[in-house]
Structures are given as structure tokens and as C-alpha cells.
A and B are shown apart, each in its own frame.
Chain A
Amino acid sequence: MSEKLNSALDTAGPQAGRIEDLWWLLFGFCAVVFVAVMAVLVAALVRRRTPDESMEPTYAGQRTALRYVGAGVLATGAILLGFLIASVTTDRGLDEIETGGARVLTITGRQWWWEIRYEDARPDRVVVTANEIHVPVGQPVLLRLRASDVIHSFWVPSLAGKRDLIPGRDTGLWIQANRPGTFQGQCAEFCGYQHAHMRFLVIAQPPAEFDAWLEGQRASAPEPATDEERRGREVFLAGSCVMCHTIRGTAAGSIVGPDLTHLASRQTIAAGARPNTRDHLAAWVADPQRTKPGARMPVPELPPADLQALVTYLRSLR
């Protein structure tokens, strides 16, 4: 089992679990049908015949043979009917999830990253983050899916089937994780240049741990503790970064790019393109196009010292 689950056959939630059951049912029957058909084919090829070099055609035997054809068609129909029932039943089951008081997240697909909002009745308690979804184990979560540019598709194979995010239409999806773990997710609908690097993680935590995480995310960004960090914040606020990004607790409040308030708490950068290490972060900020060609982030053109300070500051945003 890999560390971060990424498989429709290694599931951790009721949605994907029901589909996995359906898969094994379909697979089982189809395997039997395949083997049976191939057995008939092989038998037809090798069965004993009187050696016969004549080119004289035969016409006989139609009637008997057609009886077998008819039986095969009937069997096909019966199996298909069974599949149809199994499919519809499973489909109904996907909606049978205890949804009272469920947490609501709004996920917005953008070229090429995910904006994640933890909705709350009180606007100041809304949490905005990117590319990393934390969920409490054992509790259903409603995802409201939006697209701000082109069609994307939200897919975490270990938790649920995919659902498209379509501009001009709101769609939604229930997910629930039954055990703690980290699950890989990705955009599944081709959405342009960096479709490959539109990945995200779903991290299922015990409810207490999740609540603590969420509370931490609600906080504004920590104040810089060192001179280097202070300088980094100045670089951030003085440069082009503020044109697109938000760091709550500072003057930066633009929502074009991902919210960076707690950037350092996230496992990856650039929508899963790289692990969130100092080196990768520095390389990414220095020239986003090298890490992720086509990404919408421009090159900030910073002197090396400023860049290092900026990275130090960003690394402090835990």
C-alpha cells in the first residue's frame, strides 16, 4: 500500500467503497463471460474435424447453430439486466449518506490549482486555502464545485468518483473518509497547458485533530520573528506578489492566486507539482515557468538576497 492512496481499488470511504464493490461484481461476471466466450472460440478452433481439403462450401447446420446463438443472446440480456440493477442500486447508494449538519466546502477549479473554502455562517471564520483539503474522519463533507475558467473535474479515487466543475453550472459531491490517511487527488478533465499539474491532497484526520487544524487556519498569518522574515515580508508587500495573493493579517488581499496565509503548513506547492521544501519553493518563486511551464504566475525578477528573504518569510507562514 503506497503512503498516499490513489486508487479506485484501495478505498477509504463509503462512496468509493460502494463503487469498488460494484467493480468487483462487474469484473467477476465479465471475467466469467470472457473466459466462456474464449473457451468456445478455442474449442471451435481445435475441435476434431475430418480432414477435408475440398473447397466445396457447406450450408448445413444453420438451425441448430442459431439455437445456440439465441441462447447466448438471452444469457447476455440476463447478465445486462443484472448489471443494470446493480448499477442503479449502487447509484442510489451513493446518495444515502448521513448529511445532517455536514461541513460545506466550496471548491473552485482554476487553471491550474484548486481554491478551497471552508464555509462558515460567520464570514470571519471562513477559511480559504489551496490544493490541500483536510477532512474529519467519519464525517460527510459536502463539496460545492465551481469552475471559474474552463471545465475541470474533481477526483480522489480512494474516496469517490469524479465530478466535473463546469463554468455557469454548480455541481456538488459528497465525500467521506472512514480512516485517517492522505489521499491523492487530481483534475481529471483536460483543462489546458498544465492539466497534469493540477493535483491536490485530501488529508483525513481524527475530528479533534481536524478541528485544531481548522482553528489554526482561521488565524491570521504569524508575525515575522526574525529580521530576515521581516525583510521577506517587505519584499512580498512591495513587489508584484500582492497583485495576486492574500496573506491574511497583512495588506495583501488579492484573490487571483492561492491564499498564502498558511502556505508553510501545506505539503506541496504549485498544485502538487513539487514537495513544499525550501529549495523547491525558492526555485518556484525564482522562476515559476521552469517548475511548471505555462503556469499563470509571472517571474517576480528579484535580486537573490530579496528572494532568499522572501522564501524565508513564506516558510514561516505555518
Chain B
Amino acid sequence: MKLSPEVKAALHEPATDTEAALLERTWARPRGLAGWLASTDHKEIGRRFVVTAFAFFLLGGVLAALMRLQLSRPELGLLDPDLYNQVFSMHGATMMFLFAVPVMEAMGVYLVPLMIGTRNLAFPRLAAFGYYIYLFGGVMIYVAFAFDTGIETGWFSNVPLAGPEFSPGKRTDFYAQLITFTALSAMVEAVNLIVTILKLRAPGMTLNRMPLFVWAMLVTSFMIVFAMPTVATGSAMLMLDRLVSTQFFNPAEGGDALLWQHLFWFFGHPEVYIIFLPATGMVSAMLVPFTRRAIVGYTPVVLALIATAFAGFGLWVHHMFAAGLPKLGQSFFTAASMLIAIPSGTQIFCWLATLWMGRLRFTTPLLFVLGFLFTFVMGGLTGVMLAAVPFNLQVHDTYFVVAHFHYVLIGGAIFPLFGAFYYWFPKTYGRMLSERLGRWNFALMFAGFQLTFFPMHILGLHGMPRRVYTYPAETGWGGLSLLASIGAGVLGLSVLLFLINVLLALRRPRENPANPWHADGLEWSTTSPPPACNYADLPVVRGRYALWTKGEPTVVTGLRRDRMFVLVTHVLDAQPDHKREMPAPSLWPLLAALATTALFIATIFTPWGVVWGLIPVFVTLVGWFWPKQDES
């Protein structure tokens, strides 16, 4: 170390203003467009990630509105069947692959390093790469859609319908590559979050002091690591069948149509929990400040998260009951599917108890939590019904299921997410969102949601299959469908109100104190918005509710401020282990993502795309990892 004695001495003391400024310069990214593109700051990437995911949410919402228009009356001809099929496929794929999973990862990318008291993610460049891959994949599919090459066989694209014979053209190839893009992005962000959570926690943040949102992200990331590879493998096999005539899914040549469904749902069911668990973490995080008390049952909640993750992998076959698999196996999956209600129930009872014991403050985030409880409990109960094979055989692939999974996904994930937007917006942007507009936003969203999706339960029981572009009047589905369409309008209005609220808030000057909610989490101890280095002095954690812990705060000293150093700690007890210098902002992740994108898209058109596409990928990766001269 070539440090002057003064700097060396100062290292051992908490930062003064000048030293904090030095630290800030060290961690700031270069200015200008190149610097913007090169950014590896988890806050900047997380923000872009959330905004991008929200843009896809809006696009998916527009597609949903189109469907509700087409279905509002029997035999309408607003969308022809070809377009309708693309619209519902794009809606599903957008919401699952481009919104729900990415937005949860994005919240993790933004919040986790702040919550665990470190300066960045473990692999900052990988975080940027993962974001760019996601962005390019999303743009790719929408460009394809604009050229009438959108997905046409649904978000789970069963074969043989999605195979080379029944889905000629390139539409399904774009679908398969969309999966490759999102799986790659999700997997790298998941590994990044796992390592960050396990190795970069502030000293003293032992595993049993870790915030519940961080626990949820850790468990979710592990689920991604095991779930995404199977669907990526499946989509690769689909590509191979379509591109080079392999026979994985062709029953005439020893292949099997159900193989795809097994591979897909082995990912597809955990996917639901990959979306839901981070949302439960948000609920737990928001309940604490707005009940002004410790969560009831921290340990049961953590155990429930872990149990959900394990059980989540054991029930994919309940998506395939109608395929007529052996009875004994089906009973097993019924039991497993019902079993998962126990950890979910545990969490709900813990939250209810926290609400009961707490002293409530009825803020907008809390309203969204209450809306979540109402909606998710109902969705969970219909989920338990669906686990019963005989009943499942009636309502599988009907609007009952459509209602169920929107109750679970919108109720279980979007309500908490909007609550989280209200809750953490001041941290990110230094301004509060309007509480008055927030209450309207919640009220409209809640009412619009129930109006849209409750009638769908009844439609399904009355025989309405999903994915039909129209229906005859004699079915009697017209009235309830119209009601659902009206509800969708209200739902749309509530999202519009949210956007207005955000725009109004951004126009106001920054006003906000570090901790407007009097919350307990570490992230509220730094300024709003946080500086590039997150914390001028890394905090030492002494309790589960970091800011509520009594006594004088302790900080880490002895980390160089002229280099991008973070503290690496032990996995279990978060004792300091070593210091690590983080890589500087770099354009290489962007270039590598561009090269990877070129490879993926070229592969849609020719198998040689893999061969030639690998060269630029290799070059950019070497550029990425090659150390800078000043290291020696």
C-alpha cells in the first residue's frame, strides 16, 4: 500500500466530509453517455431495471386491455384470431418473463446491497450484463411482434403446436430465444444476489439478523438457480427441433409431447414462487414500520420461505392433471400442492398476528399490504381447490384458472410491489409520493382488480375455456365478460394514477430526510437518495432491526477510500474476513451483452449463428476479464 501517513491515520477514523467526498469520487462512474452505459452501480442498474420492467408491465397491460375489448361482447371482430393469439401469448410472456421475475430481481439488485450495508453487488459488471441481456431480449421480442412475428402459441407454448410442423415461420423461434435471454439474465442476477447476500453482509449481520426481504431474495435466487436451467434446456431443445431437426418432441420418432410440459412446468411452477417470495419479503419489510413493532415469528417466516422453495419444486405435475398420468403419481402431486399452503399459511398468520399486536399507521404501503392479504388469501384458497385432481379436471385451462393465477400473481405480487414502490420511492428519489393520490391509486386498483377477475371464476365454472378469441352468444358468457372488461378499465386507470403520482413527485424539489417512515432497515440510515458508495462508513449491525437497536452505532474503519473496496464477511456470522477491490465501471458488459444478443438472434436464422457468434462473445469476455495495467 502506497498511502501517505495522514491518509493512513485517517483510515482508522470515521470519514470526515472531505474523506466522504473522496469516497464519493472513487465510487462515482465516469460522466457522459459512455459513463452512463458503463455504470456498474447497483442502484443505477436496479433503477433502470425496475423502470424497464415497468415499461414492459405497461405494454403487457395494453395487450390485456386489447383482449378485454375483444371479449367484452360475444362474436366481436376487433382482433382476428391470428392477432388475438399473438396478443395473449405476448401478454403472458411479457408479464412472466419481462415483468414479474425481472422486476423482483431488480428490486433485489437495488435494495439488497443497501439493506445489508455494503457498497455494491458482489459482481457489479455481471449485474450490468444481466440487465442488458434482459433489455435486449425484451426489445427483440417486441420488434419481432411489431413485424407480425410475435409469440403465437402461448407463454408455455406446448409442443407439437410449437414444433416445426404446426408453427412454421420464426415466431416460435423468437419465443424460444426470449426464454434463453430471460433465463440467462435471471440466472446471472440470481448468482450475483446469492453471493452478495452470503459474503458482503455488514459485520454483525448474522443470518438470523438478516432482513426478511433479503432472506426472501436469497431463497428466490436459489430457486432461480434450479428452475431456470430446466426451461433453458427445454427451450434449447425446442430450438434444436425447429432448427436442425432433432426429434425430442416428435412422437413419430421416439420423442414425447409431454416431455416439454415436464421441463417447462418444472420451471413454471417454481416461477410462481420466484415472483411471490420477494413480494412476501416486501410485505414483511413494510409491516414492521407501519405496525411499529417487530414482526411476529421471524424464524417461522424464514422457515416458511425455505419450505416453500423446496415444496415449490414438487408440484409441477398439477399443471398436467388433464393429461391422464398415473393415478398414484397424481395423488402425490395433490398432496404436495396442498402441502405448500402450510408455509404460505404460516406467513399469513404471522402477518395477521403482527397486525393484531401492532400499532398501525394507515399509510399507502400498508393499504397495499391489506389489499394483498385479501386478494392473496382468496387466490391461495382457489389454489388449494385446484390441487384436487377431480376438480382440477373441470376448471383446468378455463377462466377459473385465469382468475386464480391473477389473484395469486396480482394479489400476491403486484399489490405488495406497488406498496413497495410507495415505500422505497423516497429512498430512491428523495421525494415522497403523494399519500392522497396513493390512497386513490390503491382504492381503484383494488376495486378494478376484483371487478375484473372475480367474475372469471364463475365464467370458468360455466365452461369458458381460456385462450379463445371469441365465444358464441348462446354460451351466456357475455354479461360477466363485459363486467370483467369494465373492471380492466378501472385497473388501467389506477396504473395511470400511479404514473401521474410519480411524475408529480419527480417535479417537486428533493425534500426528503433519510428515514421518512421511521423504519428499522439499514437502508434508511443513509441519505435519500444514497450516495454512490451507499455508506460513507460501512455500518456494523447489532440487531435484527438495525436502526431500532439501542446504543451507539458502530462503523467499519480501515477501508481505503481512494479505491473501490468492500468488506467480505463470513457466510454465517458475518465476521470480517477480507477486503476486496471491486472492478471499475466498464463498457465490456454492454459489449458482451451485444455480442451475446447477436449470437442468440443469429441462431434464430441459422445454426451457424452459434459458431460465428461465439467469436465476438469470446473477444468481449476476454476484454471484460483482462486486468488493467495499473494492477501490477
Contact = CB atoms under 8 A, between A and B. Distances in A.
* Chains A and B share a contact (CB less than 8 Å): yes
Interface of A: 2-4, 6-9, 16, 18-19, 22-23, 26-27, 30, 33-34, 37-38, 40-41, 43-45, 47, 49, 52, 55-59, 61-62, 65-66, 68-69, 72-73, 76-77, 80, 83-84, 86-88, 90-91, 94, 111, 149-151, 153, 155, 157-158, 160-164, 166-169, 171-172, 184, 186-196, 199, 272, 293-294
Given A8-B461, A38-B377, A59-B294, A196 B257 contact: no
Contacts of B389: 87, 91
A90 B327 CA distance: 12
B293 A169 contact: no
Contact of B352 (A6, A41, A172, A184): A41
A56 B292 contact: yes
Given A91-B327, A192-B161, A194-B81, A4 B297 contact: no
A38 B548 CA distance: 31
Given A7-B461, A90-B390, A151-B161, A190 B154 contact: yes
Interface stretch (B28-36, B414-422, B464-472, B483-491): B464-472
Contacts of A87: 334, 387-391
Contact of A167 (B257, B331, B378): B257
Contact of B85 (A40, A149, A193): A193
B337 to A, nearest CB: 10
Contact of B334 (A18, A88, A153): A88
A73 B623 CA distance: 54
B505 interface: no
Interface of B: 80-82, 85, 153-154, 158, 160-161, 165-166, 251-252, 256-258, 288, 292-294, 296-297, 300, 322-324, 327, 330-331, 334-335, 338-339, 341-342, 345-346, 348-350, 352-360, 370, 373-374, 377-378, 381-382, 384-385, 387-398, 461-463, 465-472, 474-476, 518, 520, 545, 548
Nearest to B462: A7
A93 to B, nearest CB: 8
Contacts of A56: 292
B468 A195 contact: yes
Given A9-B461, A23-B391, A57-B545, A150 B166 contact: yes
Contacts of B327: 91
B251 A167 contact: yes
A41 B342 contact: no
A19 B166 contact: no
19 contacts: A16-B394, A26-B385, A40-B356, A41-B374, A44-B355, A45-B360, A49-B359, A52-B359, A57-B545, A58-B293, A58-B359, A65-B296, A65-B354, A91-B330, A91-B331, A188-B322, A194-B81, A199-B472, A294-B82
A107 to B, nearest CB: 14
A150 B165 CA distance: 10
A65 B353 contact: yes
B296 A62 contact: yes
Nearest to A16: B394
Contact of A161 (B373, B382, B394): B394
Given A27-B385, A40-B356, A164-B323, 14 more contacts: A8-B394, A23-B391, A30-B381, A38-B374, A43-B356, A69-B297, A73-B349, A149-B165, A149-B166, A150-B158, A157-B394, A166-B258, A166-B323, A195-B465
B475 to A, nearest CB: 6
Nearest to A26: B385
A86 B466 CA distance: 27
Nearest to A190: B467
A318 to B, nearest CB: 23
Contacts of B518: 55
Contacts of A189: 158, 322, 397
Given A87-B387, A168-B252, A293-B81, A69 B349 contact: yes
Contacts of B346: 69, 73
Nearest to A157: B463
A195 B85 CA distance: 10
A280 to B, nearest CB: 12
B357 A61 contact: yes
B352 to A, nearest CB: 6
Contact of B257 (A45, A66, A166, A190): A166
Nearest to A19: B390
Contacts of B334: 84, 87-88
A166 B324 CA distance: 10
B349 A57 contact: no
Contact of A186 (B461, B463, B474): B463
A38 B397 CA distance: 29
